[in-house]
A and B are shown apart, each in its own frame.
Chain A
């Protein structure tokens, strides 16, 4: 029973274009959502988060959108850079920032020069 789903295992984008990574969730009790980036042989690195009381949060080239009615969130990266190539994980929590995180399986982003 996967509560957080990332249905695209991989995504390929040209440098300079927009990357859009998608995530769906099933549990309406989730109140905090995060995106992490992960390189091989390293731990996940926090990118950006959003509380369920908001529908958008922006940090530099990264923007996260939350659509609670559709139980969907997305991460936009613009412009995409080759260094953005990594696996991106969507995660959700029921207890605000103190609860355990439920992760999706990840989307591997490849940004081609």
Chain B
């Protein structure tokens, strides 16, 4: 999965702390997507961003979760006051701008564990 870079790969937090997950899209890609995967489940869409804009956040919980993709720097998924149920693998994907069929390419994910 060279290209989409996510860090950290593993993150451990205690209940009530904040978690920040970073994603740098592939070079030339201006669309970023965040997905969450629980054990034995498929990936679930959370949010779709372009530079400085949130396009679709229909899959993101209304409270504690936020995402941004600033003009400069990586996209950030922020989870405030984490709870045990936030433990999951969080994947970022990117795709290029423009017309035509372009698949989303994924990073290797951040595994978040809540103690």
Query: Do A and B actually bind?
Result: yes
Q: Which residue of B lies closest to A105 (CB)?
A: B42
Check B91–A43 contact: CB distance below 8 A.
yes
**Cα distance, A45 to B33, chains bound together (Å):** 15
Residue from the list A42, A102, A105, A106 in contact with B1, Cβ < 8 A = A42
Chain B residues, Cβ within 8 Å of A89: 42-43
Check A100–B95 contact: CB distance below 8 A.
no
Chain B residues, Cβ within 8 Å of A105: 40-42
Q: How many residues of B contact A (CB 8 A)?
A: 29
B54-98 near A? 1/0 per residue, CB < 8 Å = 001011000000000000000000000000000000010101000
Chain A residues, Cβ within 8 Å of B109: 42-43
Is B19 on the interface with A (CB-CB < 8 A)? no
Chain B residues, Cβ within 8 Å of A103: 35, 42-44
Check B56–A100 contact: CB distance below 8 A.
yes
B10-50 near A? 1/0 per residue, CB < 8 Å = 00000000000000000000010101000011111100100
Chain A residues, Cβ within 8 Å of B43: 44, 89, 91, 101, 103
Chain B residues, Cβ within 8 Å of A106: 42
**A:20-72 near B, CB below 8 Å:** 32, 34, 36, 41-46, 49, 51
Instruction: Provide 12 A-B residue pairs closer than 8 Å at the C-beta atoms, listed in order of the A residue.
Output: A42-B1, A43-B109, A97-B102, A97-B103, A100-B45, A100-B58, A101-B33, A101-B104, A102-B45, A103-B44, A105-B41, A106-B42
10 closest A-B pairs by beta carbon, nearest first, are: A103-B42, A43-B106, A100-B45, A46-B103, A43-B108, A103-B43, A43-B1, A105-B42, A97-B102, A44-B106
